[in-house]
Amino acid sequence: MSANEKNISLSNIELAAIEAVYFLGIGGIGMSALARYFNRIGKKVFGYDNTATPLTKKLEAEGIHIHFEDQVKLIPSNFLDIYQENALVVYTPAIPLTHKELNYFKSTGHKVLKRAQALGVITENTHSLAVAGTHGKTTTSSILAHLIHAHGEPISAFLGGVASNFESNFVHEEGAKITVVEADEYDRSFLTLHPTGAIITSTDADHLDIYGEEGELLKSFRMFAEQVSNVLLLHENIAEGLTQNKALQRSPDKILTYGWNKEADYQITSRVHRKGSYVMDLKTPHGELLNIVFPMAGKHNTENALAALALAAESGLNINRLAEGLASFKGIKRRFETLVNTSDHIYIDDYAHHPTELNAAIAAAKELYQNKKITGIFQPHLFSRTKDFADEFAASLSKLDQVILLDIYPARELPLNGVTSAWLLEKISTKKKLLSKEETLNWVKSEKPELLMTLGAGDIDQLVNPIKKALS
């Protein structure tokens, strides 16, 4: 954090006084939601990203000026002409510290905030509901936003994916008093939030390039939990590690658990697949809920739905009306999204980029399609994550009938010596290939596998539409 950032008091930033906002990395899913928010409330919005994408094109169509070269001279003059006290610069941690425009804004005394800090300012005086966890944030927050909306309450929501019910990663309805946000543990970003209520879905080791060890990650989750004021929902598998082994210094008013065990405050007592959806019975502090329909596959997604239902209910909404809303949830782009489903081919796309997420996605596919061979195309994300979890990745991918491995997507990282997809491939015990994206698409066109999954968080999404076209 720079000296300029240290001197910024977040509590002294008045959104009403801000006239213009400049985003560095505006094409990111979280950044674009913030950009849409400021654009919606009438601020002038500008941005930079290194690559034009369908998302940046949508932002431009909404009236946002974006350029794609890191050049100070390309910063629009009508942003620079605004008095610095009335201008805000927001950047994503993915922006390198050597970035010319970022350093220009820091050196000229502009208000410069990380994305999470800006989100903290926006949600500071709202009834904010946050979803944290190393897995399930986007799905759970999207379900939560949908349930509150379906209940009839106006909301604002900042999501990490495109929710199909809203066809957007951002929702801002007239008169909204509730704000739904994802609380991202990367770079300890969630510590800028002080939510009214929160869910923590999981605390599996991840981002060890930031935390160094799992204990430091857990410490940050405890710190986040201590910043929740009213109610905290914890998955039953993590409750003891967060609250009992080391007591929270400042606890929310209420801490509840959810899961499958009878000791959980919110419990799934049964779950069956019926006519393309799942039907559940639930035990809650508000009474039993029977024959609750939820259309999204996967045991983990059932848990996410329960968590969202629980937090909405604990926020004072009618639990029976909330439960009815589960049936109309349409899913999220790239979260176990079924893109082709014919008698010949099934194609599912999923954002899974951690071994736990791969296990969940593969298990969901096997549950739905028990007699089909599953081919997975996986793009590892980050050299550090691949190195830290190589054996776990190999074990997860070996559960597939066949694996197509792409090169590691580096994102913000430089290569690590010896950490390559070829090195990971050697550890996988099932049928396997290492291919480029172009070779992969040609392979799909020629082989046409009966059940195909694309898995990963990098730029593997560039293959999604071509594969969909090839298999349709």
380 and 323 in a common domain: no
113 and 143 in a common domain: no
221 and 151 in a common domain: yes
Contact indicator for 232, 341 with CB cutoff of 8 Å? no
Q: Parallel, antiparallel, or unpaired for β 127-132 and 178-183? A: parallel
Question: Domain limits at 412?
Answer: 337-471
324 and 250 in a common domain: yes
Domain boundary at 54, 89, 118, which? Answer: 118
DSSP 213: S
At 324, give phi and psi (nearest 5°): -65, -35
Question: What predicted TM-score, i.e. pTM, was given to this entire model?
Answer: 0.87
One-letter-per-residue 3-state SS of 32-100: HHHHHHHHHCCCEEEEECCCCCHHHHHHHHCCCEEECCCCHHHCCHHHHCCCHHHEEEEECCCCCCCCH
Where do the H-state alpha helices sit in 152-255?
208-211, 214-226, 239
The sheet with strand 87-91 has its strands ordered as 65-67, 44-48, 20-24, 87-91, 111-114
274 and 354 in a common domain: no
In this structure, what token pair is assigned to residue 453?
Answer: 């999954």
Domain boundary at 278, 311, 328, which? Answer: 328
In this structure, what token pair is assigned to residue 298?
Answer: 């996967």
Buried b / exposed e over 179-210, threshold 16 CB at 10 Å, is bbbbbbbebbbbbbbbbbbbbbbbbbbbbbee
317 and 170 in a common domain: yes
Domain count along the chain: 3
96 and 158 in a common domain: no
Domain boundary at 95, 118, 141, which? Answer: 118
Where do the H-state alpha helices sit in 100-213?
100-107, 115-123, 137-151, 208-211
Alpha-carbon Rg for the chain in angstroms = 22
CB contact set of 317 (below 8 Å; sequence gap of 6+): 147, 148, 151, 153
379 and 397 in a common domain: yes
Distance of CA 54 to the CA centre of its chain: 19
105 and 135 in a common domain: no
Contact indicator for 351, 188 with CB cutoff of 8 Å? no
Minimal CA–CA distance to 221: which of 206, 238, 242? 242
- The per-residue pLDDT for range 271-330, each reduced to its tens digit, is 998 877 899 999 999 999 999 999 998 889 999 999 999 999 999 999 999 999 999 999
In a 13 Å sphere around the CA of 48, the CA atoms on its Cβ side amount to 23
Encode the chain (472 residues) as per-residue pLDDT tens digits.
343 443 444 555 788 899 999 999 999 999 999 999 999 999 999 999 998 988 999 999 999 999 999 999 999 999 999 888 899 999 998 888 899 999 999 999 999 999 989 998 899 888 999 999 988 999 999 999 999 999 999 999 999 999 999 999 999 999 999 999 999 888 788 898 999 999 999 987 675 667 677 788 888 999 999 999 999 999 998 887 776 545 677 778 899 999 999 999 999 999 998 877 899 999 999 999 999 999 998 889 999 999 999 999 999 999 999 999 999 999 999 899 999 999 899 999 999 999 999 999 999 999 889 889 999 999 999 999 999 999 999 999 999 999 999 999 998 788 999 999 999 999 999 999 999 999 999 999 999 999 999 999 989 999 999 999 999 8
